[in-house]
Amino acid sequence: MTLPELKKKLKNIKALGFVKTHRKGDTGIGKTLEDLLGIKENNIPLPDIGEIAELKAYRRSASSMLTLFTLEPQPKGGDRDRILLDNFGYSKRDNGRSKELHSTLSCKRYNNQELKLKVEKDKVRVVGKGRRLNIYWDMQDLQKKFEAKLPALVYALADCKEVRGVEHFHFNQAFFLEGFDFEHFKSLVKKDAIVVDFRMFYRPSGSVRNHGTGFRVKIKQLYNCFDTKVELI
């Protein structure tokens, strides 16, 4: 499928108005659009631009967040996680862990563990209240991870309504997106539209278990992470 062919298909889908979901539940919107486009998976080969774009369909009313990618901060190594656990971790009586840190960091204010994010020219840094930390992500690492996870995206939005208890979608806006825009990324971090989740704990042996540090974005702001934006409908 070429990009012009995709654009034509999406315009025809828009003209259908509200269509009945092809599957119940949260995944119904993606399944419905895949079926209407005639694709078996959520990847769309676009040979005319040399890309395979991932299809992402969202309800316009959605206020939730999605995980962009997971990426551990610098410096590498176990000492970084131990510093975070020793200084900002907490204990729960019901799980027997000596310390754990499940914590969401944003830019505007410190969280309950007294951690927040700070945006610099070429970095996103972790800041601890009253403590000096040298923990950060640099622009090159963020760009590399972002473009590996989301090299190209077809981003579709739909209005939703229920008809006799069955969800219906009207797909009426879509974009082709590619490339990483670090300036927009930083702006979204500053606005708390992108947050970071730490998920780690000490094992009984004393070693650290890290489930991966996730960057999450508000669904409606995903569009703004990309450098190239082509309106399809």
CATH (domain of 218): 3.30.70.3570
Task: Specify the residue for token string 């996680």.
Answer: 81
Provide the token pair at 179. 């490339």
Mean pLDDT, rounded, for 79-89: 92
Q: Phi/psi class of residue 126: alpha, beta or left (left: φ > 0; alpha: ψ in -120 to 50)?
A: beta
User: What confidence score (pLDDT) does residue 54 get?
Assistant: 86
Domain that holds residue 56: 3-231
User: Which pTM value belongs to this model?
Assistant: 0.80
Mean pLDDT, rounded, for 44-57: 76
Q: In this structure, what DSSP letter does residue 222 have?
A: G
Mean pLDDT, rounded, for 12-39: 93
User: What confidence score (pLDDT) does residue 93 get?
Assistant: 63
Per-residue pLDDT tens digits for 173-216: 999 999 888 899 999 999 999 999 999 988 888 888 889 999 99
Instruction: Calculate the average pLDDT of the chain.
Output: 90
Evaluate if residue 65 carries a pLDDT over 90.
Answer: no
Do residues 121 and 136 make contact, with C-beta atoms less than 8 angstroms apart? Answer: no
Domain count, the chain: 1
Per the document, the length of the chain is: 233
